[in-house]
Chain A
Amino acid sequence: MSAAQSPDWLARMQRQAAAARDPRLRRFYEAWQLPGSTPLRDVPLAALDLETTGMDPRRHSIVSIGIVPFDLGRIRFSQRRHWIVRPRFPLQALSVTLHHITHSDLAAAPDLGEVLGDVLDALAGRLPVVHYYPIERAFLDSALRFRLDEGIEFPVIDTMQLEARWYRQSLGARLRHWLGRRPVSIRLHESRLRYGLPAYQPHHAALDALATAELLQAQVAARFSPDTPVEALWC
């Protein structure tokens, strides 16, 4: 988790820009300008949340995408973007209640392919911030491979992984585990409460993105400094 182990995302994104075939993807990669040494205070961020029909990108699909641009000083909730997209696989009853999205909403929604340009433009030049990165990365990659026959990769800050550093991998957390105590929850809601953040109604992509952005601001205020290089956080 130190800067030394951190991938050189600037170089990787530049290689991807050269290799990308889809113009929307190429635009996305080319917009990336941030070396890993950039202090956090200067990093444009974008909280990203996907709502999906399940956890497995091979069987489940994206139903909504929320993006909230922000930086360490201010979360631009007023500039948030939110898309509902039609899933590839049929919606199961359980997820319906989870997302407050109904079948008729989805029937009228566009395919992700139609809004992909908008989604990527909203992220362009910004470092995505997510809570539990495997979902966002894997689902976007899978969705793009299905539609464009090429995937996507990008750096993220994962607020859950940051919590795990302190509450799962730290010496104290291991001691706790060794003593047989229940581990501290690092889910979004519980993590937020540790920083005095209010309880939000979960499972709306834009609101979860806002909740994630707030959590990162809180984590940086508590554990890092605005001068911390971004490579200390991303993965």
Chain B
Amino acid sequence: MATKLHLVRLHSLARQLDSEALEIRQHLARFPPFEGLTDALLDLVAESVDVAYFKAGSEILEREQTIDALYYIRSGAVEVYRRGGALLNRLEEGDIFGHFSLLRNHRVHFPVKAIEDTLVYLVPDEIFRRLGTEDEQFADFVELDRPRLQSAVEKRGGDAGLATTRVRKLISRPPVMVDASVTVRDAATRMTASHATSVLVLGEEDGNPRYAVTAPEGTQACLLGVLTDADFRSRVVAEGKPPETPVSEIVQGPPTTIQSDETLQEAMLCMLRNNLQHLPVLHRRTPVGVLHISDIIRHQTHTSLYLVERIFSQGSPQALARLLPDVREAFVRMVEEGADSQVIGSALSTIGRSFTRRLLELGEAELGPPPVPYCFMALGSMARNEQTIVTDQDNALVLDDSFDPARHDEYFAALGQFVSDGLAACGYSYCTGGIMATNREWRQPLRVWREYFIDWIGQPTPERLLHSSIFFDLDSVSGEEAFVVALQDLVAERAPRSPLFLAAMARNAGNRTPPLGFFRNFVMEKDGKQNNTINVKRRGTAPMTDLIRVHALACGSTAQNSFDRLNDIARTDLLPSGVSDRIRYALELISMLRIRHQAIDLQRDHPPTNSIEPENISPAERHNLKDAFQLLSDAQKFLQFRYPIPARRS
């Protein structure tokens, strides 16, 4: 009965909408921000539009004229200009303009000219405002409330399982906890009785707040560590220890824990970083459970966790290379699950680091132990934890100062070659700039590395630094971490005090510029030229990380990841307030575009690249991207202004 009545009503409603407005409605419904409107609002817009025709070459809006409607391009194309007359944008069928001026005094800010014969639909101001109050997505699009970029990024993050699911959701029972004084037999008995695969070991509170927990009886205790099934095998039975051994003797701490309201994403990264299978979960100071890798996998059938394990169990570079399809599958899966660029960048960097570490282990097994201590150093995207599926290798060796080239270099040259060849086989192509441990110049003792950095920072010119900026993203992968930390500290200490260095870096950071946006199936350049594809790394993410790096160097940050750097920058007054957040959104947006398109390439069995064809970018994405490119362009200009060449040298 109800259905019938409903149908009748629908039918009569449909009759009410004049079919001449239907034509307009159907067109509007294909383009943002109208595509997301409810039927009722869409009808309202279609019913209320006026129309105007403009011949190619004629002015549609002149500066300072009053404006009373939102302009929607039904057919044709227009150009929007800046105050100085420079091209701001080229718009086509389905695009809107005038909203900026409608929101600000009804005076035209940016003049608009028809470049083709153009028919526009005019949405009256009062309808425009009504859409803004009744439809949040419309308001976002025309930036009624907040920047469009921000809401675009936030919206996409919204449906991500890993990013939004809290750890506590996967905790089904309290942890088994024992006092450090009990025997391993007692601990094993408790575990068996509870069908647990791990047990938390509590000791007396020792005053270290970091590991202080509330024991089940409500007393204060110290979390000493986790014992797992595997520990009983390897540290008790295999070592021939008696069942009477106190657990305090075999527990290894300090433990890594996670708060119950953290996201699964955070838990996953934590396990990846620390190579853990069990993660104690706390609610404030109370242990509430233990998260096991398989809990997350069951929740999100994720392969990247397994991958790290599998990497470390491969016995040869050839076997490692066979994991390439699994890496790609894990990548595509993360993209499909809606992970953000930080999660994906971090997971892929972890995978890359694991390959490198395993290759170093295999190399040492073949070549023998290293003659002097070394640190294998990652540069560029791996150091920043921002790798994608298309990446080349940038690495170097920092050797102990006791390094004697005559006696030791043969070994490290061979080790570097082994790792570099292995990485290439695993899909990390050789660095075309030769920034690899195979290059003698980048296989040097710590003191030489110090000189390199002192020289770069102390005697900078844009030309000399052109190919060196990659060295200012550096992190240790394996070996003596302290070597790389020393270099990071050196940079953080000297860079902020060298205006000439910052100016040279700022100059170089402006070399690669973003395009203006998109027009039909072309990439729009600022000079009006059109291209068929865009290299979104060269024109987007790379210049963005470049400019973030300069600010990070200026504020003495030792962070390498661009988002971490932005956190450090936000704590200073280097950037006007709010700007670092906008840069963050823009970077996330462009990074995800790059990542998603690489995933699409893989799904279609195409080799993944950094290139994107405009026809594969949705209208909504285009608008957001255009904003992001604009922000990048403005941020680049600000950089030149913020770090000018000091007067005495110019």
Q: A residues touching B (Cβ–Cβ < 8 Å)?
A: 66, 70, 73-78, 80, 82, 100, 195-198, 200-201, 204, 206-207, 210, 213-214, 217-218, 221-222
The answer, among A80, A214, A221, for a CB contact under 8 Å with B55, is: A221
The answer, among A78, A195, A221, for a CB contact under 8 Å with B58, is: A221
The answer, among A78, A197, A198, A207, for a CB contact under 8 Å with B47, is: A78
B117: chain A residues within 8 A (beta carbon): 195-197, 218
A82 & B20 in contact (Cβ 8 Å cutoff): yes
The complex places the Cα of A100 from the Cα of B23 at a distance, in Å, of 14
Known: A196-B75, A196-B116, A197-B119. A75 touches B20 (CB 8 A): no
B20 & A207 in contact (Cβ 8 Å cutoff): yes
Is B422 positioned at the interface, with any CB of A under 8 Å from its CB?
A: no
> Chain A interface mostly helix, strand, loop or mixed?
mixed
Known contacts A196-B119, A213-B51; 19 additional CB pairs below 8 A are A66-B20, A74-B52, A74-B122, A75-B51, A75-B53, A78-B48, A78-B124, A82-B18, A196-B116, A198-B75, A198-B119, A204-B19, A206-B20, A207-B19, A210-B20, A214-B51, A214-B53, A218-B53, A218-B55
Instruction: Give 1 or 0 for each of B119-130: 1 = CB within 8 Å of chain A CB.
Output: 100101000000
Known: A214-B53, A217-B52, A221-B53. A206 touches B18 (CB 8 A): yes
Determine the residue in chain A with the shortest Cβ distance to B93: A198
The complex places the Cα of A80 from the Cα of B51 at a distance, in Å, of 12
A77 & B23 in contact (Cβ 8 Å cutoff): no
B335-383 with Cβ < 8 A to chain A = none
Instruction: Give 1 or 0 for each of B78-122: 1 = CB within 8 Å of chain A CB.
Output: 000000000000000000000000000000000000001111001
Determine the residue in chain A with the shortest Cβ distance to B19: A204
Determine the residue in chain B with the shortest Cβ distance to A78: B48
Known: A80-B20, A200-B23. A210 touches B74 (CB 8 A): no
In the complex, how many angstroms separate the beta carbon of B610 from the nearest chain A beta carbon? 36
Instruction: Give 1 or 0 for each of B377-401: 1 = CB within 8 Å of chain A CB.
Output: 0000000000000000000000000
Determine the residue in chain A with the shortest Cβ distance to B69: A74
B74: chain A residues within 8 A (beta carbon): 198
Is B522 positioned at the interface, with any CB of A under 8 Å from its CB?
A: no
A196 & B20 in contact (Cβ 8 Å cutoff): no
A213: chain B residues within 8 A (beta carbon): 51
A73 & B116 in contact (Cβ 8 Å cutoff): no
Instruction: Give 1 or 0 for each of B23-52: 1 = CB within 8 Å of chain A CB.
Output: 110000000000000000000000111111
A77 & B18 in contact (Cβ 8 Å cutoff): no
Is B76 positioned at the interface, with any CB of A under 8 Å from its CB?
A: yes
Determine the residue in chain A with the shortest Cβ distance to B117: A196
Is B54 positioned at the interface, with any CB of A under 8 Å from its CB?
A: yes
Determine the residue in chain A with the shortest Cβ distance to B26: A201
A210: chain B residues within 8 A (beta carbon): 20, 51
A77: chain B residues within 8 A (beta carbon): 24, 49-51
B109-162 with Cβ < 8 A to chain A = 116-119, 122, 124
A207: chain B residues within 8 A (beta carbon): 19-20, 23
A221 & B52 in contact (Cβ 8 Å cutoff): no
A82: chain B residues within 8 A (beta carbon): 18, 20
B312-335 with Cβ < 8 A to chain A = none
Q: 29 A-B contacts, Cβ less than 8 Å apart?
A: A73-B52, A74-B51, A74-B52, A75-B52, A77-B24, A77-B49, A77-B50, A78-B47, A78-B49, A78-B50, A196-B117, A196-B118, A196-B119, A197-B117, A197-B119, A198-B74, A198-B75, A198-B119, A204-B20, A206-B18, A206-B20, A207-B20, A213-B51, A214-B53, A214-B119, A217-B53, A218-B117, A221-B53, A221-B58
A195: chain B residues within 8 A (beta carbon): 53, 117
B19: chain A residues within 8 A (beta carbon): 100, 204, 207
B23 & A197 in contact (Cβ 8 Å cutoff): no
The complex places the Cα of A222 from the Cα of B171 at a distance, in Å, of 73
B47: chain A residues within 8 A (beta carbon): 78
In the complex, how many angstroms separate the beta carbon of B275 from the nearest chain A beta carbon? 61
Determine the residue in chain B with the shortest Cβ distance to A101: B19
Determine the residue in chain B with the shortest Cβ distance to A207: B20
In the complex, how many angstroms separate the beta carbon of A69 from the nearest chain B beta carbon? 10
B119: chain A residues within 8 A (beta carbon): 196-198, 214
In the complex, how many angstroms separate the beta carbon of A76 from the nearest chain B beta carbon? 5
Instruction: Give 1 or 0 for each of B232-259: 1 = CB within 8 Å of chain A CB.
Output: 0000000000000000000000000000
- Give the 9 A-B CB pairs with smallest separation, nearest first: A196-B117, A221-B55, A207-B20, A217-B53, A75-B51, A206-B20, A198-B75, A78-B48, A204-B20
A196 & B52 in contact (Cβ 8 Å cutoff): no
The complex places the Cα of A214 from the Cα of B75 at a distance, in Å, of 12
B18: chain A residues within 8 A (beta carbon): 82, 206
A222 & B55 in contact (Cβ 8 Å cutoff): yes
The complex places the Cα of A213 from the Cα of B49 at a distance, in Å, of 14
In the complex, how many angstroms separate the beta carbon of B504 from the nearest chain A beta carbon? 51
